[in-house]
Amino acid sequence: MPKRNEIQSLFAPTVRGTRSPGIRVMIADGQVLVRAGLRALLESEGDIAVVAEAAHGTQAISLAAETRPQMVVVDIGLPGLGAVELTRRIRAETELGRPSVMSLATQTDDEQLFAALRAGASGFLLKDTDPAELVQAVRVVAAGDVLLSQGITRRLIAEVASQPAPDRPTPEQSEDLTAREREVVALVATGLSNQQIAERLVVSPATAKTHVSRALYKVHARDRAQLVALAYEAGLVIPRRSRAARAREDEQPVAALVA
């Protein structure tokens, strides 16, 4: 039978070995079983290492400074500091290394989604996502791309569609974009990576990356996540459906909802 101190150690936030075969990840979640499950899933991959686990936001800040992860997987309901504030600080403070952030949620909440994107999150997935998709999402976000699950993208589109036109943000920040840059930003907003954008536009990945970088600079976006939020708010991606059609949208591909 395990000793008492051995059992207690299972529930303590941890800093794991600093040696990493590839992507260095920190998990921030208030539930020990969730952290253990995510760690087991990610470390079963040869190119991902979990270097730290945090049970609340304050610990996550401390561990990020100590372990310098490449990305952080954070529960949107993280106790303490909170996932949105944690994301903002991790992305803004250089001493934390500015790792990429992917938020996990048990259910889609439009307010949380927008808040996470504005704070600098580069991914937003539901916890019932297929394990293989979650692993791939970690790789995509760690590489600097933005990833939203299809269900979340549909909800985001539907929510924007439900807003009265006068309440939508003006597209002033996007006025300096060229036609091609606007096209690229719209593709970024649908969740495509640089490689996928290159394939869609029949250009090289380097050219696609250049277009994205120029768009980021022109609209003063800190990262691709902010570019996604701006694309919807500025009307670069215009949804065709309304809130009333949300249930029906769940049965349709995302491409059918985007003009």
Q: Domain spans of the chain?
A: 4-144, 161-257
Instruction: Report the phi/psi class of residue 80: left, alpha or beta, with left for phi > 0 and alpha for psi in -120 to 50.
Output: left
The residue among 15, 55, 6, 4 whose CA lies nearest residue 31 is 55
Say how far apart CA 209 and CA 166 lie, in whole Å. 33
Q: What is the pLDDT of residue 13?
A: 52
Structure tokens at 211: 């277009």
Residue 54: beta bridge partners?
28
Note down pLDDT in tens along the chain; length 259 residues: 445 444 344 444 555 544 445 899 999 999 999 999 999 999 998 899 999 999 999 999 999 999 999 999 999 999 988 899 999 998 888 777 789 999 998 876 767 777 887 788 888 888 888 899 899 889 988 887 777 766 666 565 555 545 544 444 345 667 788 989 989 988 887 777 788 889 999 999 889 989 998 998 888 777 776 777 778 777 777 544 433 344 444 444 333 223 2
The whole-model pTM stands at 0.62
| Main-chain phi, psi angles of 23, to 5 degrees | -75, 125
Q: What is the pLDDT of residue 142?
A: 87
Query: CB 235: neighbour CB atoms within 10 A?
Result: 17
Q: What is the SS3 assignment for 15-32?
A: ECCCCCCCEEEEEECCCH
Instruction: Report the phi/psi class of residue 127: left, alpha or beta, with left for phi > 0 and alpha for psi in -120 to 50.
Output: alpha
Residue 148: beta bridge partners?
124
Q: Does domain 161-257 have CATH number 3.40.50.2300?
A: yes
Same fold, 4-144 and 161-257: yes
Say how far apart CA 11 and CA 55 lie, in whole Å. 9
Say how far apart CA 139 and CA 152 lie, in whole Å. 19
Domain spanning 4-144: which CATH class is it, in words? alpha beta
- 222 by Cβ neighbours in 10 Å (0-12 / 13-18 / 19+) ranks as middle
